[in-house]
Structure 1
Amino acid sequence: MYSSGTGLDPAGGRPAEWDPDLERGPRSDLSGFAVASLVFGLIGGLLLGPLLGVAALVKIKQTGQRGKGLAIAGLVLSGVWVLVLAVVVGVNKYVVNRAEDVVALQIGQCFDLPSTGPEDVFPGPITTLPCTQPHRAEMVGWASPVEGRGTAGDYPGVAALVQRAETGCATISRNYVLDPVSLPAGVRPRWYIPRAAEWARGSYGITCFLATDGAPVSRPLREDASIVNRDQLTFLLAIRDCAESTAKVEALLAGGPAAELRSATKQTAEAWSTMWLKLRAGAWPAEAQPAIIQWIADVDAAQPLWQEAAAATSDRDLRDKVRRAQQRSGADHLLAVRRALGLSTTRGEPLPHR
């Protein structure tokens, strides 16, 4: 007889803890759960991948099957997919919120910029502020991303949108501030263009605003037809083209290409003639008439000088005649007209009545 302390089965002489599977050694077959976990990890099965991976590890520990590395790889890949999804959702949420911030801006609303670099065509978080508090930007309107009445179509790309913004926002800003003399130094047109993701959602508009590269502004910049009075509007529209073309000539005179200077001088000669006609046709208030009459005389005297400059045959003659015409611009009388009409007389000065 065998003693129970020997650990043998009295019937067969085998150890009492004997298991047929242990006699054959560890199983050499590959875990199907591990393979499935890897496959779902590769294709982004965020739910099944982790579940199968955990099930595979438990089963492998119990049975000794192969595939532990595959199961772990499946779990790791599933984790990577979770991180990718989190990043995509986060970026998408940021883009949507950012687009909503831009779309929510109203014309005349002031805000601070997330950055001030010239390459910053995409907005970050926007903080709106009362225009009487220091701020760096003021919303002026929206420019169309396409010419004329064309449809939006496919996303045109950043370069094409920036080109549209340069012309569209310049025009909008020009009408938003009819008197450029009132703009503080360093204020210029800027814009935000839609990203491809916003374009796909139907957000096509280019957001135009005026921004300062210098000190913050603490007043509204708007001086459009809703702000200025009738006499001021008539005067500003009469002189605008002439003032812009004359300023361009002054910039080119300092050393710009002769061909560009010649073209700008011809435009300026035409602008002075047109301005003279508009000034003479205006019905000016009594208090402004003396100054207007004096300045019309200055313009009348300057016209032929600009025409002579436009007809100059040599570059040197062109520059000399442009300087002569500039000397007859009647700056003192122009200043008197602006003062009589209640317009800004120094750079960056708002309308006196504001």
Structure 2
Amino acid sequence: MSIPPPSGPQQPYGPPAPPHGPYAAGPSSPYGASYGGAYGPYGPYGGQAPVNGLAIGSLVLGILCFVPAVGLVLGLIALAQIRRKGERGKGMAIAGSVLSTVGLALWALTLSTGAAADFWDGFKSAANGDGSAFALDKGDCFDTPSGTLEGETFDAEKVPCSGTHDGEVFAVVTLPGGGYPGEDELSRTADDKCYALSDGYAMDTWGVPEDVDVFYFIPTPQSWRFGDRELTCLFGSTEKDGRLTGSLRGDATTLDADQVAFLNAVNAVDAVLYEEPEDHPDDDLAASRAWAGDVQRVLGEQITALRGHRWPDGAGKPVADLVEEMADARKEWARAAAAKDSDTYFTHYERGYAYVDGPTTVTAREALGLDTTVPFYEDDSGSGGGSEDAGDLQV
């Protein structure tokens, strides 16, 4: 996804690494038990000693240059076995080891020069067919095999947004290069970017169901090495076995210009209200006062924007009434920003919050054809005052 989860971010997906090749491990000897030992390169009954199976495997992998590290290891093991058992295949083991060493050098050069990104683009293009998580783009709805948005996944089937589905993509963000930042850091980045972008996709936050939250796909360490730099932001349900129904998209592609203008203004005010300091004003009055000053400033900017828009018949007066309440609230926030003590601060804080999501807001929304169901937000701000909207949003 604008609604933080109750106990940290949901466990995100990470696209799996590209395939590592046809071998899960080194091939075993095709000849079963071998002979040799004290009898040299021939068997105890005069027959020719068998060829070492690991030498064959090393040569094959060295030629393919697909998993060079495995080829090199097999070659070294094969040389040791050949010396100990008197088997044949020393030339193949040496050739396989040399070719694998060259392959490793080429892989290192590829990863250091950025050619791995080209490889990833090619792999992603090949994986971008139906049923792949790499095929998802902004506006796509999908189902996962497990029916949940937890753990890791490669499969994701696109489905029509008009029906039920597990998730809906609302943004795809390209991350900067460099070393793999780690899952925790990627999750923090996803929190920052996805929550910030969610309101731009579902602008009418009142219309987002209470059980909907922000999830995301993040790269795994393996896919990162091959150039995966995409962060995919999703909407999903927090309920067990919960699913979404219909698209949550509500932006300039689905709303009219008047609805967009109104939502841009009220969402900007909401955004600054959500930035309320965690510390109680009794503990850090200066931080609270600074935040109140920010609220005053943003209210002033959005009041100007709303007054400057030409509203359609039937919506002009309801919006004007709301703007007047916002102007009164702005004066209270200015007084809160200048408060000398926490008691005075809270007096103006509560008055400044009084208009938020009130009847005048509902009337203006109704006149513009927007959702009129006032959302419920849990208050965990610990500020001890204000409306129930004063704290961070949680689901």
Q: TM-score, normalised by structure 1?
A: 0.65
Tell me, yes or no, if the aligned pair for 2:162 and 2:246 is still in contact at 8 Å: yes
Tell me, yes or no, if the aligned pair for 1:141 and 1:209 is still in contact at 8 Å: yes
Give the alignment partner of residue 29 of structure 1, picking from 30, 39, 51. Answer: 39
Q: Deviations over 1:153-179 (max 9, x none)?
A: 444443443333222222332211112
Kindly indicate whether residue 234 of structure 2 is the aligned counterpart of residue 209 of structure 1.
Answer: yes
Residue 187 of structure 1 aligns with which residue? 212
Residue 100 of structure 2 aligns with which residue? none
Kindly indicate whether residue 351 of structure 2 is the aligned counterpart of residue 324 of structure 1.
Answer: yes
Tell me, yes or no, if the aligned pair for 1:298 and 1:330 is still in contact at 8 Å: no
Rounded to whole Å, the distance in 2 between the matches of 1:217 and 1:251 is 32
Tell me, yes or no, if the aligned pair for 2:277 and 2:291 is still in contact at 8 Å: no
> Which letter maps to 2:175?
P
Q: Deviations over 1:56-78 (max 9, x none)?
A: 9xxxxxxxxx969x99xxxxxxx
Give the alignment partner of residue 110 of structure 1, picking from 141, 144, 147. Answer: 141
Rounded to whole Å, the distance in 2 between the matches of 1:223 and 1:193 is 25
Rounded to whole Å, the distance in 1 between the matches of 2:202 and 2:281 is 27
Please state how far the C-alpha of 1:31 moved relative to its aligned partner: 5.1
Residue 21 of structure 1 aligns with which residue? none
Give the alignment partner of residue 163 of structure 1, picking from 173, 188, 209. Answer: 188
Rounded to whole Å, the distance in 2 between the matches of 1:251 and 1:216 is 33
Rounded to whole Å, the distance in 2 between the matches of 1:193 and 1:99 is 16
Equivalent residue pairs, number: 277
Kindly indicate whether residue 138 of structure 2 is the aligned counterpart of residue 128 of structure 1.
Answer: no
Kindly indicate whether residue 280 of structure 2 is the aligned counterpart of residue 223 of structure 1.
Answer: no
Tell me, yes or no, if the aligned pair for 1:96 and 1:198 is still in contact at 8 Å: no
Stretches of structure 1 lacking an aligned partner (at least 5 in a row): 1-26, 57-65, 72-91, 147-151, 349-354
What SS class does the counterpart of residue 280 from structure 1 fall into?
A: helix
Query: Cα 1:144–1:316, aligned 2, differ >3 Å: closer, same or farther?
Result: farther
Residue 311 of structure 2 aligns with which residue? 284
Residue 175 of structure 1 aligns with which residue? 200
Please state how far the C-alpha of 1:45 moved relative to its aligned partner: 6.0
Rounded to whole Å, the distance in 2 between the matches of 1:280 and 1:203 is 46
Tell me, yes or no, if the aligned pair for 2:172 and 2:232 is still in contact at 8 Å: yes
What SS class does the counterpart of residue 131 from structure 1 fall into?
A: coil
Kindly indicate whether residue 376 of structure 2 is the aligned counterpart of residue 343 of structure 1.
Answer: no
Residue 145 of structure 1 aligns with which residue? 175
Query: Cα 1:326–1:154, aligned 2, differ >3 Å: closer, same or farther?
Result: closer
Residue 40 of structure 1 aligns with which residue? 55
Tell me, yes or no, if the aligned pair for 1:177 and 1:224 is still in contact at 8 Å: yes
Rounded to whole Å, the distance in 2 between the matches of 1:132 and 1:255 is 50
Please state how far the C-alpha of 1:327 moved relative to its aligned partner: 2.1
- Structure of larger gyration radius: 1
Deviates more, 1:268-277 or 1:257-266: 257-266
Q: Deviations over 1:287-342 (max 9, x none)?
A: 11121222122112211111111222223332232112222447111110000000
Query: Cα 1:213–1:330, aligned 2, differ >3 Å: closer, same or farther?
Result: closer
Query: Cα 1:135–1:337, aligned 2, differ >3 Å: closer, same or farther?
Result: same
Kindly indicate whether residue 360 of structure 2 is the aligned counterpart of residue 333 of structure 1.
Answer: yes
Residue 335 of structure 2 aligns with which residue? 308
What SS class does the counterpart of residue 233 from structure 2 fall into?
A: strand
Higher normalized contact order (CA 8 Å, seq sep 6+, divided by chain length): 2
Query: Cα 1:283–1:165, aligned 2, differ >3 Å: closer, same or farther?
Result: same
Give the alignment partner of residue 274 of structure 1, picking from 282, 301, 311. Answer: 301
Task: Name the % identity.
Answer: 23
Rounded to whole Å, the distance in 2 between the matches of 1:164 and 1:328 is 33
Query: Cα 1:306–1:133, aligned 2, differ >3 Å: closer, same or farther?
Result: same
What SS class does the counterpart of residue 287 from structure 1 fall into?
A: coil
Stretches of structure 2 lacking an aligned partner (at least 5 in a row): 1-36, 43-47, 62-73, 89-119, 376-395
Query: Cα 1:34–1:263, aligned 2, differ >3 Å: closer, same or farther?
Result: farther
Rounded to whole Å, the distance in 2 between the matches of 1:99 and 1:310 is 54
